[in-house]
Amino acid sequence: MGRGRQPGKDLSCHADELSKYACTRGTDVLVRDGSCFLRLLQERREVPTVAPGSTPDIDERDTGRVVVAVGGLTRSGTIPAMIEIRDLTKTYGKVAAVRDVTFTAAPGRVTGLLGLNGSGKSTTLRILLGLTRPTRGVALINGRRYRELDHPVRHVGAVIEQGLSHPGQSGYAHLRTQALLGGFPRERVGRLLEYVGLEDAATKRTGDYSLGMKQRLAVATALLGEPSVLVLDEPVNGLDPPGMAWLRDLLMAHAAGGGTVLISSHLLAELEHFVDDVVIIGQGRILASGTLAELTGTARLRVRGGDPERLAAAFEHHGATVAPDGPVLFVSGLSLEQVGDIALAARVPVYELVAEAQHLEDIFMSVSEAR
């Protein structure tokens, strides 16, 4: 697939691709009326693929695998693939890196774990991936700890640290080595390099890669196992605007195909463009969580009138929260129409009345100050 093609638009099944895929895993492919099926020889169960624009109808007890053609790249994964973090705590001596952290990341959605550097994001993800042991609590993928998963890299693709490739290796050699170690077909290496936009730099030493190129290579490595779950720690660092747009499209396509995406970042403004659910963490604790629409949907009103003090008293009398800033009042809890009617009843002229949508940065600052 060329870089110009939008990933995630084509979710159709291709019998030839599925046949090649099946041969690498000892499974059969059935083609019935244009629909593709895999039969797992180990369990003798048939699991349908995701049809274009649909969601697989599979019982929660079904531990089979589903195959989806996303942008020409066949991807498989377990169903369902939910991330569950429950009462997670990690202490180092008397210092708590994370405390009682609880949240979920659901299939078909992009969940953003947002916070400043040192807030506990990376510790949470490292525990999830079995790299750090928790003091208490659990971090589960599909109901299991990472180390309990059968062939984890086929379930979870992770980007935790960049620049882990040997600087003397080419991008192709690095990805080929990882494919050999993971038991993945060689053909996938070239296709992934093209998918992440590194086909022209495939023979270049990774030591000469820019930070953005190393990020792309790390993402390609995470995708080798065709995972249903992607876990990425600060993946937008070093990416230029086109690179950010590329990563945004890739993650949205992965979620659109039924995958689960958990991404951490301190760049709140960028993630606001594509996350579905938000978990804000600070000083190791969850400060706020919910859908992006829930957290940012309530607009704050900017009001400037002839008598700010009189207006503020009138708004507060009607249950509003008012934050004065010189001659300007920031009003929450009232609609535009209500503010206009109240000002008219108070006989105070209004010179400016604007609804200001809240952004993730605003939400983060407000919840941080509240704690």
- 114-118, 155-159, 213-217, 254-258 — which is least confidently predicted? 114-118
Alpha carbons 37 and 67: distance in angstroms, whole number: 9
- CATH 3.30.70.100 residue window(s) in the chain: 297-370
The token duo for 336 is: 């535009």
> What are the tens digits of pLDDT across the range 88-147?
999 999 999 999 999 999 999 999 999 888 899 999 999 999 999 999 999 999 999 999
The token duo for 21 is: 């895929």
Alpha carbons 45 and 59: distance in angstroms, whole number: 12
Written as one letter, the residue type at 169 is: Q
CATH topology of domain 83-292: Rossmann fold (3.40.50)
Q: Please, are residues 279 and 230 in contact by the beta-carbon 8 Å criterion?
A: no
Using CA atoms, how far residue 276 sits from 97, 251, 252, 273, in Å, is 26, 11, 10, 9
- CATH 3.40.50.300 residue window(s) in the chain: 83-292
For domain 297-370, say whether CATH 3.50.50.60 is its number: no
Give 31's pLDDT tier (boundaries 50, 70, 90): very low
CB atoms near residue 173 (< 10 Å)? 17
Count H helices and E strands in the chain, helices first: 11, 18
Alpha carbons 244 and 310: distance in angstroms, whole number: 47
User: What mean pLDDT comes out for the span 34-52?
Assistant: 35
Alpha carbons 226 and 61: distance in angstroms, whole number: 21
The token duo for 290 is: 């919910």
